[in-house]
Amino acid sequence: MSRLQIGVIGCGSIARHRHLPEYAANPRANIRAVCDIVEPRARELAATYEAHAHADYQSLLQDPEIQAVSVCLPNHLHAEVTVAALQAGKHVLCEKPMATSRAEAQAMIDAARSADKLLMIAHNQRFMAAHVKAKQVLHSSRLGAVLTFQTAFSHGGPERWSIDGADSWFFRKSEAFVGALGDLGVHKADLIRWLLEDEVESVAAFAATLEKPGDVEDNAVCVLQMRSGALGTLTASWTFHSPEDNSTHLYCEHGVMHIAADPVYQVIVHHDDGGVERIEAGQVATNQSQTKSGVVDEFVDAIFSDRESAIPGSEGMASLQVILAAVQSAETGRAVAIG
């Protein structure tokens, strides 16, 4: 195979700041086409990357030269466009959350299996150097089992990131389906599952719209019970008026680990014997300070290597189910078990 021919569907901020520049930097990928219903956006990026511009994703999918696509659209379109792309014979890298329901997620997984094509979900937190290093420390067994944890993702809101600003689809339930939980919470649900190599068994959550316009939550606080018995909190917020919080704290049998909580040392480990490890492991990405996500490189390499990606549809669905359970819990006032 020569260079992988790529189509990017959706020309908003995530495409502009992550997918397109990372494909352009990958020597095994070529951006053949971009698509957006706002045609000037598509034409602008097509000119930047010497690609074809489309205003209709079906038109892009009809191009036989395109082998793989990134789906960078509002959440309610992820399943529809992903399934269409898979049925058109394209590999798919889909933004998170992968879908708005378990049924949609399963339809995407089934479509990938039927088409014998790769489906990957863009959960970039797994590839951040601080998180990779933290997992290595956990695997060393020096800290023992994780007993409790806190994980958070909080910033000032999508209007500071989205290409549409305060008029962004992120604030409309009909397009986003959830607010901070889908934008930020699903990242941390995926991270904690991956870090602990454990599954969430039950969720109790509170969610509220405290400041932002629209009809989705801008804050959520969740209590997670893991299959191992570990307990922890997951917080997602769009009303954080200081620097972003993307931290995780693990309280273990033989010590404590702080991740992305210090501006210099991204991993700090306190051992029961009084010893402290301070590790510089690379900055965690923020909206203000983008770092290479690793997602695109993993997607391209998985296709060339003819292997499953690090984050297949089944993993995306498992993390989505945590958010779906949190939504149900917040609505009913009861803890929700994940089957």
| pLDDT tens, residue by residue, 57-87 | 999 999 999 999 999 999 999 999 999 999 9
Q: Has 188 been annotated as catalytic?
A: no
- 264-268, 288-292, 320-324, range with the lowest pLDDT: 288-292
Residues with Cβ within 8 Å of residue 111, at least 6 apart in sequence: 82, 83, 86, 87, 119
pTM: 0.95
Domain residue ranges in the chain = 4-124+292-311, 125-288+320-337
Pair of tokens at residue 115: 């088409």
Q: Which fold has domain 4-124+292-311?
A: Rossmann fold (3.40.50)
Has residue 285 got a pLDDT over 90? no
- Relative to beta strand 200-208, strand 219-226 is antiparallel
Has residue 338 got a pLDDT over 70? yes
Tell whether domain 125-288+320-337 is in CATH 3.30.360.10: yes
Pair of tokens at residue 337: 């078990």
Q: What angle do CA 177, 158, 215 make, to 5 degrees?
A: 40
Confidence tier at 290 by pLDDT (50, 70, 90): low
Q: Read off the pLDDT of residues 86-100 as tens digits, 9 standing for 90 and up.
A: 999 999 999 999 999
**What is the rounded end-to-end Cα distance, in angstroms, of the chain?**
41
Task: Give the CA dihedral 40, 86, 20, 191, nearest 10 degrees.
Answer: 130
Whole-number mean pLDDT of the chain? 96
Q: How many CB atoms lie within 10 A of CB 27?
A: 7
Residue 274, burial from CB neighbour count under 10 angstroms (0-12, 13-18, 19+): exposed
Short-list 93, 40, 43, CA closest to 66: 93
CA pair distance 9, 59, nearest whole angstrom: 11
Short-list 10, 31, 13, CA closest to 22: 31
Short-list 59, 55, 65, CA closest to 35: 55
Has residue 283 got a pLDDT over 80? no
Helix (H) or strand (E) holding 200: strand 200-208
What angle do the packed helices 313-332 and 102-115 form, to 10 degrees? Answer: 170
